[in-house]
C-alpha cells in the first residue's frame, strides 16, 4: 500500500511539474513573441529600404542592375541627404518615382534591351542584413523597389532612410550622425539591439536580437516569400 501511495504521489508531482512547466514555457513564448513584434514594428516604422531586382541571373543582367542601382543612388542621394524624417524621405521618393524609372530605362536602352521597369514603394520582407556595425533583423519593411524585366534575378538592397547605401557592409562603420538620427527616433532598447548585436562581447544584446530574428523568421516564412538571392 505504501508503494502504491508513493507512486500516486510521485505521479501527481510529475503531472503538476509538467503543467507548471507548460504554463511557464507558454508565458515565456508569449512574452518573447510580443517583444519581437514590438521591436521589429518600431524599427520598420523608421526605416525605408532600397531594393533593385535584376531581370535574370545572367552576367549582363546583373551588371545592368548594378548600373541602374548606382545611377538611381547618384540621382537621389543629394535629394535625400537633407531629410531627417522618414515622412520627408517617403515624399521625395514618391515625387521622384517617374524620374527613377526614366533613369533605369535609359540605362537598359543603352545596354540594347527593352525590359520594362517598375518602381514601387510598399511593404517587402527582408532577411537579417548587416550595414557596417548596424544589423537589421528579419521582417517586413517599407521599401522602394525597382523591378527590371521579369525581376527573377539576384537582387540588391540597402537602406535609403536613414542613408546606409554607401556603408561597407563587411568592414564599414556607420557615421555617427546617421546613428544619431536613429537614436532620435528609436527607443534606447531598440537602438542598442541594432547597433550592438554585431559585437561578440554584448551577449545580452545578441540574445535579444536573436529572439527578434527567430520570431520574425517564423512569421514571414508562413506568410511571405523572402527577398531572396541577395547580392
pLDDT at 231: 37
Which residues face 145 on adjacent strands?
51, 120
Instruction: Verify cis geometry, omega within 30 degrees of 0, for the bond prior to 14.
Output: no
pLDDT over threshold 90, residue 103: yes
pLDDT over threshold 60, residue 114: yes
83-94 pLDDT, tens digit per residue, is 888 899 999 999
pLDDT at 229: 40
pLDDT at 9: 65
CA distance 150 to 161: 27
Instruction: Verify cis geometry, omega within 30 degrees of 0, for the bond prior to 98.
Output: no
Which residue reads 511539474 in cell numbers?
17
Spans of all domains in the chain: 40-223
164-218 pLDDT, tens digit per residue, is 775 544 445 677 777 777 777 777 877 877 776 555 555 455 555 565 555 556 6
Lowest mean pLDDT among 60-64, 111-115, 133-137, 221-225: 221-225
Average pLDDT of the residues in 118-134: 84
Instruction: Label residue 35 by pLDDT band (50, 70, 90).
Output: low
Residue 26, exposed/middle/buried by CB under 10 A (0-12, 13-18, 19+)? exposed
Amino acid at each position: 500500500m505504501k508503494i502504491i501511495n508513493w507512486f500516486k504521489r510521485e505521479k501527481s508531482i510529475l503531472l503538476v511539474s509538467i503543467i507548471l512547466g507548460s504554463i511557464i514555457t507558454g508565458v515565456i513564448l508569449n512574452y518573447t513573441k510580443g517583444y519581437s513584434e514590438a521591436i521589429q514594428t518600431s524599427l520598420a516604422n523608421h526605416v525605408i529600404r532600397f531594393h533593385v531586382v535584376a531581370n535574370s541571373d545572367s552576367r549582363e543582367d546583373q551588371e545592368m542592375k548594378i548600373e541602374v542601382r548606382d545611377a538611381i543612388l547618384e540621382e537621389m542621394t543629394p535629394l535625400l541627404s537633407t531629410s531627417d524624417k522618414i515622412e520627408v524621405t517617403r515624399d521625395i521618393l514618391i515625387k521622384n518615382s517617374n524620374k527613377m524609372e526614366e533613369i533605369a530605362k535609359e540605362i537598359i536602352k543603352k545596354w540594347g534591351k527593352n525590359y520594362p521597369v517598375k518602381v514601387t514603394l510598399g511593404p517587402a520582407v527582408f532577411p537579417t542584413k548587416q550595414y557596417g556595425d548596424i544589423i537589421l533583423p528579419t521582417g517586413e519593411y517599407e521599401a522602394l523597389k525597382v523591378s527590371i524585366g521579369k525581376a527573377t534575378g539576384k537582387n540588391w538592397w540597402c537602406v535609403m532612410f536613414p542613408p546606409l547605401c554607401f556603408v561597407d557592409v563587411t568592414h564599414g562603420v556607420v557615421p555617427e550622425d546617421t546613428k544619431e538620427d536613429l537614436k532620435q527616433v528609436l527607443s534606447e532598447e531598440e537602438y542598442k539591439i541594432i547597433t550592438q548585436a554585431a559585437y561578440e562581447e554584448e551577449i545580452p544584446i545578441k540574445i535579444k536580437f536573436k529572439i527578434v530574428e527567430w520570431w520574425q523568421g517564423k512569421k514571414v516564412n508562413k506568410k511571405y516569400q523572402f527577398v531572396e538571392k541577395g547580392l
